[in-house]
């Protein structure tokens, strides 16, 4: 893959002007995500109302891939049910790991701009971190690390299969 | 235009022919993503010349057997070649005796050997170990483990904004409880060359032994352990054109003899019964088990190769690269070099306004340029500068000035993308 196709305008735009950037004062759910290998971190706060993500915000320091992924994630899951959000988390994870057939029906929409990251294994964690953090927030886990012994991916898989 | 300056500069160096040297390194002619490789991650690991590759092939093809064991021909050849490598390393660092050179799996292993063999024997509760802010994690974590086990205390020498150690603060740390100093010779994150001779002398005035982590020094500047009078010196082969999986520890014979073995097993014994084992003499006392024989012989070949060029010549060429790259990066608006010590090797850690190092690294890779991004296993240095990570271009003697130009264009391209 060419990194030129990864650093597309849509990703650069979300990096420059991240959507839903900040912290919700009255969050019902929140979590912090870390990547200790590079020092990146972000926190996610959200308001769940009638099982829908009513409001969501993120805040932190990270590379462009992570920040754009977080920004686009917040716009994608806002208004969605918890279970729809979990489906997106699962699909996004599978896409970045190269396990999702993009020709088959999925719900990722514009998030497929991140599909090229599957060819950059060292950067996959950057793209996935916001999604793992969202998963942690939705499941009342306070924090998540890319280097944790408990692989958040495992939790996602288990919970996702529960919800299907 | 810059290209012409480069060629002009190269022609002024008559003895040091970088083009001829580059031809020794097969990997330097590969392409990455359709672009010529520009390898600027030498502080992480250097590349291997054909001479060392050939030596490894010859060993595996015609000389391999286990060492120090059998009386058959091949075992004698392999043992002889292995010990010849030890002799080459001894000469490379100007150690007094060959038995003062111990082969390890690398710098980390060497430091752990000293921690276990010396530290666990001689450091007690309440004793103090002096380290510096510039240390690589490999010269921090083993001492923290020891401190935790023994109830010892770690004291840290601070750095100034240029990335130079505060020598006054270092000297003030000494007291009657000070029992050990661990000191990086050249900072892997910033390139700072520390005044180790002066610091060793001061420690010795207090009868405190000093371990020098030379992982980033030995590939770039001449090392003389007798002139330094260091008690221990450690480095890895793979950062000086040798194979991975092998490194060395120099230790003064009297200290090595007083130390406990780090690992028990075959090759490190004089005699074994179930009642009592007598250890072998140094250096074998510290070389339990079958060592990476091919890698050790390759290590010797790498040292031969460096010596055939000359460490002074290497240092001079790399200094030229450092000055040129520093000047050109400083001229980029929005770029900032971390680590501006007066004495530096050709390591340039930098940050770009508004662009995360990982994005820089990925985009540079698209142009065939290999730099390291991250905290460089030196998180205390990153904390000192209040950055999570940097991008690091680290040069070797086989890099040329035109590669600096490619790096600069690459950085400008990154800025264009993030405009």
A84-136 confidence digits (pLDDT tens): 999 999 999 999 999 999 899 999 999 999 999 998 888 999 999 999 999 99
Tell me which chain A residues have a C-beta less than 8 angstroms from the C-beta of B381.
none
- Domain assignment present for residue A162? The answer is no
CATH topology of domain B18-44+310-418: 3.90.1150
Average pLDDT for chain B: 95
- Show the tokens assigned to B152: 């010892």
> Is residue A76 situated within a structural domain?
yes
Assess if residue A40 is contained within a domain: yes
The pLDDT, as a whole number, for residue B9 is 45
- Summarised one tens digit per residue, pLDDT across range B310-349 is 999 999 999 999 999 999 999 999 999 999 999 999 999 9
Q: Which of residues 368-397 of B touch A (CB under 8 A)?
A: 373-375, 382, 388-389
The answer to whether residue A78 sits within a structural domain is: yes
Q: Which member of A12, A15, A38 has the closest CB to residue B358?
A: A38
pLDDT in tens, B377-408: 999 999 999 998 999 999 999 999 999 999 99
Burial category of B32 from C-beta neighbours within 10 Å (exposed 0-12, middle 13-18, buried 19 and up): middle
A89 in a structural domain: yes
**Predicted pLDDT at A150:** 57
pLDDT, tens digit, 9 for 90 and up, residues A121-130: 889 999 999 9
Which range marks the domain in which residue A87 is found? Answer: 3-144
Contact present, A135 and A33 (Cβ < 8 Å): no
Domains of chain A: total: 1
Active-site amino acid positions of B: 377
Token duo for residue A155 = 């939790």
Residue A151, in any domain of the structure: no
CB contact under 8 A, B374 and A7: no
Neighbouring-strand partners of residue B213: B184, B234
CB pairs < 8 Å spanning A and B: 45
How does pLDDT run across B132-184, given as a tens digit for each residue?
Answer: 999 999 999 999 999 999 999 999 999 999 999 999 999 999 999 999 999 99
* H-helix segments, chain A: 3-6, 9-16, 64-77, 82-96, 121-138, 152-163
Peptide bond into A3 cis (omega under 30): no
pLDDT computed for residue A52 by the predictor: 96
Q: Would you say residue A162 has pLDDT above 80?
A: no
Torsion of CA B101, B106, B111, B112, to 10 degrees: -110
Across-strand partners of B251? B232
B323-334 pLDDT, tens per residue?
999 999 999 999
pLDDT at B127: 98
Inter-chain residue contact B382 with A65, CB threshold 8 Å: no
Q: What is the CATH number of the domain that holds A76?
A: 3.90.1010.10
Q: What is the per-residue pLDDT for A155?
A: 44
The ipTM is 0.83
Does A152 map to a domain? no
- Is the pLDDT confidence value at B7 over 70? no
- What whole-number distance in Å separates Cα of residue A6 and Cα of residue A148? 27
Q: What is the mean pLDDT of chain A?
A: 87
CA distances from A60 to A63, B308, B353 (A): 10, 51, 17
Helix or strand or coil: residue A28?
Answer: coil
The CA distance from A162 to the nearest CA of chain B, in Å, is 36
pLDDT confidence tier of residue A151, bands split at 50, 70 and 90: low
| Mean pLDDT, rounded, for B25-50 | 97
Among candidates B356, B365, B375 on the partner chain, residue whose Cβ is nearest the Cβ of A3: B365
Which residues in chain A have their CB less than 8 angstroms from residue B374's CB?
Answer: 37-38
Nearest to B384 by CA among B189, B246, B231, B181: B189
Q: Where are the domains of chain B?
A: 18-44+310-418, 52-308
Residue for token pair 């060419």: A2
CB B287 within 8 A of CB B86: no
Instruction: Report yes or no: B335 and B408 within 8 Å, Cβ to Cβ.
Output: no
Q: Which chain A residues touch B417 with a CB distance below 8 Å?
A: 7, 12
Q: Tokens 């990251």 map to which residue? A: A117
To the nearest whole angstrom, how far is the Cα of A156 from the nearest Cα of chain B? 26
Judged by CB atoms closer than 8 Å, whether chains meet at B33 and A2 is answered as yes
Give the CB-side neighbour count of residue B394, counting CA atoms within 13 A. Answer: 29
Q: Is B413 on the interface with A (CB under 8 A)?
A: no
Chain-centroid distance of CA B255 in Å reads 22
Mark out chain A residues that contact chain B at CB-CB < 8 A. 2-4, 6-7, 12, 15, 37-40, 61-65, 120, 123, 126
Query: Chain A residue closest to B382 (CA)?
Result: A39
- Nearest one of B320, B317, B325 to B409, comparing CA atoms: B325
In a domain, A43, yes or no: yes
pLDDT tens per residue, range B107-116: 999 999 999 9
CB contact under 8 A, A3 and B363: yes
Min distance B352 CA to chain A CA atoms (Å): 12
User: Which residue in A4, A39, A64 is closest to B388 by CB distance?
Assistant: A39
Q: How confident is the model at residue A152 (pLDDT cuts 50, 70, 90)?
A: low
Q: How far is B330 from chain A (nearest CA, A)?
A: 23
pLDDT band, residue A35 (cuts 50/70/90): confident
Residue A149's pLDDT band (cuts 50, 70, 90): low
Return the CATH number of the domain spanning residue range B52-308.
Answer: 3.40.640.10
Tracing tokens 């007598």 back to the chain, one arrives at B278
Whether B260 and B121 have beta carbons less than 8 Å apart is answered as yes
Query: For position B12, what pLDDT does the model report?
Result: 44
Tokens of B159: 């750095």
Judge contact between B100 and B254, C-beta under 8 A: no
Counting DSSP H helices and E strands in chain B, the numbers are 16, 17
Inform me whether the C-beta atom of residue B418 falls under 8 Å from chain A C-beta atoms: yes
């Amino acid at each position: 893959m060419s990194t030129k196709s990864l650093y597309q305008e849509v990703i650069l735009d979300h990096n420059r002007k991240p959507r839903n950037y900040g912290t919700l004062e009255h969050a019902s759910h929140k979590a912090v995500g870390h990547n200790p290998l590079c020092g990146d971190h972000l926190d996610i706060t959200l308001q769940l109302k009638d099982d829908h993500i009513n409001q969501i915000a993120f805040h932190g320091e990270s590379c462009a891939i992570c920040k754009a992924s977080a920004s686009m994630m917040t716009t994608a899951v806002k208004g969605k049910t918890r279970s729809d959000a979990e489906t997106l988390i699962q699909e996004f994870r599978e896409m970045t790991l190269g396990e999702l057939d993009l020709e088959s029906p999925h719900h990722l929409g514009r998030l497929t701009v991140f599909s090229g990251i599957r060819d950059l294994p060292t950067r996959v964690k950057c793209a996935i971190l916001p999604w793992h953090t969202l998963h942690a927030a939705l499941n009342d886990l306070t924090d998540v690390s890319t280097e944790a012994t408990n692989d958040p991916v495992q939790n996602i898989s288990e919970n996702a299969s529960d919800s299907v | 235009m810059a290209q012409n300056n480069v060629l002009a500069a190269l022609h002024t160096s008559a003895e040091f022919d970088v083009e001829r040297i580059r031809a020794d390194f097969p990997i330097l002619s590969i392409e990455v993503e359709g672009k010529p490789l520009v390898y600027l991650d030498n502080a992480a690991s250097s590349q291997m010349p054909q001479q060392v590759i050939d030596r490894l092939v010859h060993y595996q093809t015609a000389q391999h057997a286990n060492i120090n064991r059998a009386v058959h021909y091949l075992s004698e050849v392999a043992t002889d070649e292995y010990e010849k490598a030890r002799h080459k390393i001894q000469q490379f660092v100007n150690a007094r005796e060959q038995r003062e050179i111990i082969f390890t799996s690398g710098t980390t292993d060497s430091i752990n050997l000293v921690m276990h063999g010396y530290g666990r024997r001689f450091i007690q509760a309440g004793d103090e170990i002096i380290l510096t802010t510039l240390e690589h994690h490999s010269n921090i974590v083993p001492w923290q483990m020891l401190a935790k086990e023994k109830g010892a205390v770690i004291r840290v020498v601070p750095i100034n904004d240029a990335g130079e150690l505060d020598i006054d603060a270092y000297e003030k740390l000494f007291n009657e409880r000070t029992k050990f100093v661990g000191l990086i010779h050249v900072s892997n994150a910033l390139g700072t060359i520390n005044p180790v001779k002066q610091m060793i002398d001061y420690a010795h005035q207090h009868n405190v032994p000093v371990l020098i982590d030379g992982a980033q020094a030995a590939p770039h500047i001449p090392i003389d352990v007798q002139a330094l009078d260091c008690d221990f010196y450690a480095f890895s082969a793979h950062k000086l054109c040798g194979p991975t999986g092998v490194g060395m520890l120099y230790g003064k014979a009297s200290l090595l003899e007083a130390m406990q073995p780090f690992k028990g097993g075959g090759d490190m014994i004089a005699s074994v019964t179930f009642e009592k084992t007598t250890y072998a003499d140094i250096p074998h006392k510290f070389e339990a088990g079958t060592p990476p024989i091919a890698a050790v012989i390759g290590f010797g070949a790498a040292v031969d190769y460096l010596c055939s060029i000359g460490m002074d010549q290497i240092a001079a060429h790399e200094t030229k690269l450092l000055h040129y790259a520093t000047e050109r990066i400083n001229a980029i608006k929005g770029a900032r070099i971390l680590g501006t010590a007066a004495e530096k090797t050709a390591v340039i850690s930098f940050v770009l306004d508004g662009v995360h190092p990982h994005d820089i690294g990925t985009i540079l890779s698209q142009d065939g340029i290999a730099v390291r991004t991250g905290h460089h296993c030196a998180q205390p240095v990153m904390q000192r500068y209040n950055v999570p990570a940097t991008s690091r271009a680290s040069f070797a003697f086989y890099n040329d000035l035109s590669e600096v130009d490619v790096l600069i264009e690459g950085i400008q391209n990154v800025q264009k993308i993030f405009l």
